[in-house]
Amino acid sequence: MKIATWNINGVRARIDNLVAWLRDSAPDIVCLQEIKCQDEAFPRAEVEAAGYHVETHGQKGFNGVAILSRVRPDEVTRGLPLLDGDGEADDHARFMEAVFSVEGGAIRVCTIYLPNGNPASDPVKFPYKLKWMARLEAFAQARLALEEPLILAGDYNVIPEPHDCWDPKVWANDALFLPETRDAFRRIEHLGFTDALRAASDAVPAYTFWDYQAGAWQKNWGIRIDHLLLSAEAADRLVSAGIEKHVRSWEKPSDHVPVAGYFNFEFAVP
DNA sequence: ATGTCGACCCTCGGTCGA
């Protein structure tokens, strides 16, 4: 089974790319981020015609996530739980979880659009990112107790290591690379997750995003911020993983490319 | 690093978010 994550940067602007990629790449489950539309505006018919079930968690104008899958999930939950004591609700559509039946059990797949957090000096944005990461850590810890295959896939807006960006000096003060951000990401990993791409390959660079500006793609000024984190039960079933870099050279590309993991489990036959 | 892009609206251009 192939499970992929892709920040599509506007699903309505990218629907032709999405359908072409689904046909070429044939993923079984896709975690999308930044669909940038409400649920009713998602180009559902085109994706269903390509052979996918569609679950969305959208909002007007920005953010928004979706899960596309060859079979219908058994359960879907929208939104990342708040922490005990959190007062205000989070109105950003950044998280959805789906449970699928596979031969011998179930897998859980979450699509994650972690807050960007820039500018890091902003009194709201960077604290919101760190708080969201604390919520993700709590959620992840609770889910690990289930001892099931769990895949947390998405745009983490985290550059894990210096070799995951084209110039660490340029990114030193960026919310994607600040020590607090990397520490929070490591705390989640150290609960017991495997970074699928790094389990499959230690090759660098392994970028997943190139800015539209300044000719970043042509100069290979990229960063690695799209990740699949795997519970032990999922990592045990990982066969390989890869970055579908060629998609960045298509017409009207997203600034992110898909990242995929291949696992040796299959959907249960009903 | 800044050669851009998508979406929105008191809509054709400025603003926001990335």
Instruction: Give the pLDDT confidence score for residue A170 in this predicted structure.
Output: 96
Q: Of residues 96 to 115 in chain A, which lie within 7 A of strand B by their beta carbon?
A: 115
Mean pLDDT score, A224-228: 98
Of residues A54, A51, A50, A48, the one with CA closest to residue A32:
A54
Catalytic residues of A: 113, 155
The mean predicted confidence, pLDDT, of chain A is 97
- CB A146 within 7 Å, strand B: no
Chain B nucleotides close to protein (CB under 7 A) are: 1-9, 17-18
Q: Are strands A2-7 and A238-243 parallel, antiparallel or unpaired?
A: unpaired
Give the closest nucleotide to A210 (alpha carbon vs C1').
Answer: B4
- CB A212 within 7 Å, strand B: yes
Instruction: Give the pLDDT confidence score for residue A270 in this predicted structure.
Output: 74
Q: Which residues of A186-213 are buried (b: 16+ CB within 10 A; e: fewer)?
A: eebbeeebbbbbbebeeeeebbbbbeee
A150 pLDDT more than 90 = yes
The pLDDT tens digits for A188-207 are: 999 999 999 999 999 999 99
Instruction: Give the pLDDT confidence score for residue A21 in this predicted structure.
Output: 98
| Residue closest to sugar C1' of B9 by CA | A61
> DSSP states of A23-52 as a string?
HHH--SEEEEE---S-GGGS-HHHHHHTT-
Q: Is A174 helix (H, G, I), strand (E, B) or coil?
A: coil
Tell me, in Å, how far CA of A185 is from C1' of B17?
A: 23
One-letter amino acid for residue A146 of the chain? L
Q: How far apart are CA A230 and CA A236, in angstroms?
A: 9
The pLDDT tens digits for A100-133 are: 999 999 999 999 999 999 999 999 999 999 999 9
A219 pLDDT more than 80 = yes
* Beta pairing partners, A165: A223
Mean pLDDT score, A26-32: 98
